[in-house]
Chains A and B, each alone.
Chain A
């Protein structure tokens, strides 16, 4: 197969990586070959060959005859005008797709520089170039190398930072434990100083797990952020949302750096203390919701009673449907109404229904 040329394997300036696929074997015609490059411009067309028993899937690449100014390659001449790429480790579908796309787009025809490969490495017999272009090319190459270096260095710093951060966390954990154990031996002053360092780093109070009383910077900031994010959605949903809905909403909005349920709960616990316009409320059943401060669940109970009275009796599902609430919150509202004595329950095999509390209002 004489259409191949030797290459360094790195991308040149006017080349972009379309797709990389391991384990692709190149056949010269029917014969098996080894690694090298081939210009896309050399490709006439490509076709797929499905896998068979004992045979991998292949892409057949039909090629133009070699151009006269072609770089040296492994073979000077070959009787075949096509090669086969055998995908030993699969990936042929995507490879074929990308290659077809490239064949359609023919990006190489738009390249400002000539189609032939770069000359920066090694001697190129028979090739003459104007100095100006070479100079420009060299500059571009250097710039690319510089960028490459910067990126690698930046990542180096990041990995170093990660290592250091791990050390810091270990250190603070061990000191925190020491404080916990030797509660009497360290002076109060030191303890306070150390605790303030920890607090500023966003690490929770080491002595107790109950952090929401004293709070941490992180949770405080988070609480403020939540108040901003949730204002709109809460108003849309009638001023009340279950904490699970909030969790989904917030994490979807964040996209990255998702919140853990614990962080969310701790942040929500601080909402009221920070005098934000939302608050966390826990119903008797344990269900947690976020309400707008302006939302008065007790007042909603009065309207719930009206709705139930109109219909005679309602289950949570029926009520939820009528009012347009989630069943969970609907149930909580009906339970609250029962607690306040406005409704009573009928619990049977037919399910749980709520009636206006006639025990109190009648006879």
Chain B
């Protein structure tokens, strides 16, 4: 189910690429950036990235508009994502990161819902089944990168709803 990526209107708005000094404006701006990053990564099935890659990626660099988000501002956006639970740093230097366009707890919930619906509580699944099984095809469980699933399972089981 490939989607052609539709850039949001902000992407064509030059001020989007300047971190706004007005606090209220900035809040809106950052919210827009966060959702853009997540939907971009989701579409391109990109779950991890380095900051260097990010700078040059069309995500933060709109060549046609001749605007790019400066690296300090990219850091601010990434920090926002981290605070919201959508991002994890993979190293101490903050040079590469994990993008979770669904937060672990969201995955957990989804898995649980799917499991309940398919009446398969109290049985055991492999990760593979979960992510690639027929039943899951049209569900929101797809696409679900492996390590997301791991997190999700841990989350789900920590709520003691699924056996491990």
Q: What distance in Å separates the Cβ of B111 from its nearest Cβ neighbour in chain A?
A: 32
Pairwise interchain contact A347-B28, C-beta atoms closer than 8 A: no
Per-residue CB proximity of A320-363 to B under 8 Å, as 1/0? 00000000000000000011010011111000010101111011
- Which one of B9, B22, B29 lies within 8 Å of A339 (CB-CB)? B22
Known interface pairs A360-B24, A360-B28. Does A355 touch B15 (Cβ–Cβ under 8 Å)?
yes
Pairwise interchain contact B24-A353, C-beta atoms closer than 8 A: no
Known interface pairs A358-B13, A359-B32, A362-B9. Does A338 touch B18 (Cβ–Cβ under 8 Å)?
no
User: How far apart are the CA atoms of A107 and B17 in the complex, in Å?
Assistant: 81
User: How far apart are the CA atoms of A129 and B9 in the complex, in Å?
Assistant: 108
Per-residue CB proximity of B1-42 to A under 8 Å, as 1/0? 000000001100111011011101100110010000000000
In the complex, which range does the number of interface residues on chain A fall in?
10 to 19
User: How far apart are the CA atoms of A353 and B9 in the complex, in Å?
Assistant: 19
Collect the chain B residues with CB atoms within 8 Å of residue A339's CB.
Answer: 22
Pairwise interchain contact B18-A341, C-beta atoms closer than 8 A: no
User: How far apart are the CA atoms of A71 and B13 in the complex, in Å?
Assistant: 97
Collect the chain B residues with CB atoms within 8 Å of residue A362's CB.
Answer: 9
Which residue of chain A has its CB nearest to the CB of B27?
A: A359
Known interface pairs A359-B29, A362-B9, A363-B9. Does A345 touch B24 (Cβ–Cβ under 8 Å)?
no
Known interface pairs A341-B25, A344-B25, A348-B67. Does A359 touch B14 (Cβ–Cβ under 8 Å)?
no
Collect the chain A residues with CB atoms within 8 Å of residue B17's CB.
Answer: 346, 348
Known interface pairs A353-B14, A359-B29, A360-B25. Does A344 touch B9 (Cβ–Cβ under 8 Å)?
no
Collect the chain A residues with CB atoms within 8 Å of residue B22's CB.
Answer: 338-339, 341, 344, 357
Q: What distance in Å separates the Cβ of A345 from its nearest Cβ neighbour in chain B?
A: 6
Mostly, the B contact residues are helix
Pairwise interchain contact B28-A345, C-beta atoms closer than 8 A: no
Collect the chain B residues with CB atoms within 8 Å of residue A347's CB.
Answer: 18
Q: What distance in Å separates the Cβ of A335 from its nearest Cβ neighbour in chain B?
A: 9
Collect the chain B residues with CB atoms within 8 Å of residue A348's CB.
Answer: 14, 17-18, 66-67
From 43 to 78 in chain B, residues with beta carbon under 8 angstroms from any chain A beta carbon are 66-67
Q: What distance in Å separates the Cβ of A340 from its nearest Cβ neighbour in chain B?
A: 8
User: How far apart are the CA atoms of A227 and B25 in the complex, in Å?
Assistant: 39
How many A-B contacts at CB < 8 Å in the complex?
48
Q: What distance in Å separates the Cβ of A143 from its nearest Cβ neighbour in chain B?
A: 76
Collect the chain A residues with CB atoms within 8 Å of residue B10's CB.
Answer: 359
Collect the chain B residues with CB atoms within 8 Å of residue A357's CB.
Answer: 22, 25
Which residue of chain B has its CB nearest to the CB of A352?
A: B18
User: How far apart are the CA atoms of A347 and B67 in the complex, in Å?
Assistant: 10
Known interface pairs A355-B14, A357-B25, A359-B29. Does A345 touch B20 (Cβ–Cβ under 8 Å)?
yes
Q: What distance in Å separates the Cβ of B61 from its nearest Cβ neighbour in chain A?
A: 13
User: How far apart are the CA atoms of A358 and B16 in the complex, in Å?
Assistant: 10
Collect the chain B residues with CB atoms within 8 Å of residue A355's CB.
Answer: 13-15
Known interface pairs A344-B15, A344-B20, A353-B14. Does A359 touch B9 (Cβ–Cβ under 8 Å)?
no
Collect the chain A residues with CB atoms within 8 Å of residue B32's CB.
Answer: 359
Q: What distance in Å separates the Cβ of A284 from its nearest Cβ neighbour in chain B?
A: 10
Known interface pairs A355-B14, A359-B28, A359-B32. Does A345 touch B21 (Cβ–Cβ under 8 Å)?
yes
Collect the chain A residues with CB atoms within 8 Å of residue B15's CB.
Answer: 344-346, 355, 358-359
Pairwise interchain contact A338-B13, C-beta atoms closer than 8 A: no
User: How far apart are the CA atoms of A360 and B27 in the complex, in Å?
Assistant: 10
User: How far apart are the CA atoms of A341 and B66 in the complex, in Å?
Assistant: 25
Per-residue CB proximity of A86-109 to B under 8 Å, as 1/0? 000000000000000000000000
Q: What distance in Å separates the Cβ of B15 from its nearest Cβ neighbour in chain A?
A: 4
User: How far apart are the CA atoms of A341 and B10 in the complex, in Å?
Assistant: 17
Q: What distance in Å separates the Cβ of B59 from its nearest Cβ neighbour in chain A?
A: 18
Q: What distance in Å separates the Cβ of B94 from its nearest Cβ neighbour in chain A?
A: 24
Q: What distance in Å separates the Cβ of A308 from its nearest Cβ neighbour in chain B?
A: 12
Which residue of chain B has its CB nearest to the CB of A362?
A: B9
Pairwise interchain contact A345-B18, C-beta atoms closer than 8 A: yes
Which residue of chain A has its CB nearest to the CB of B18?
A: A347
Collect the chain A residues with CB atoms within 8 Å of residue B66's CB.
Answer: 348
User: How far apart are the CA atoms of A338 and B20 in the complex, in Å?
Assistant: 9
Could you list 6 A-B pairs, sorted by A, with CB under 8 Å?
Answer: A341-B24, A345-B18, A346-B17, A346-B18, A353-B14, A359-B28
Q: Could you list which residues of chain B lie within 8 angstroms of chain A, going by C-beta atoms?
A: 9-10, 13-15, 17-18, 20-22, 24-25, 28-29, 32, 66-67
Given contacts A345-B18, A347-B18, 14 further A-B contacts (CB under 8 A): A341-B24, A345-B15, A346-B14, A346-B18, A348-B66, A355-B13, A357-B25, A358-B9, A358-B13, A358-B15, A359-B10, A360-B24, A360-B25, A360-B28
The 7 A-B pairs with the shortest beta carbon distances in the complex, nearest first, are: A346-B14, A359-B28, A347-B18, A344-B15, A346-B15, A355-B15, A359-B25
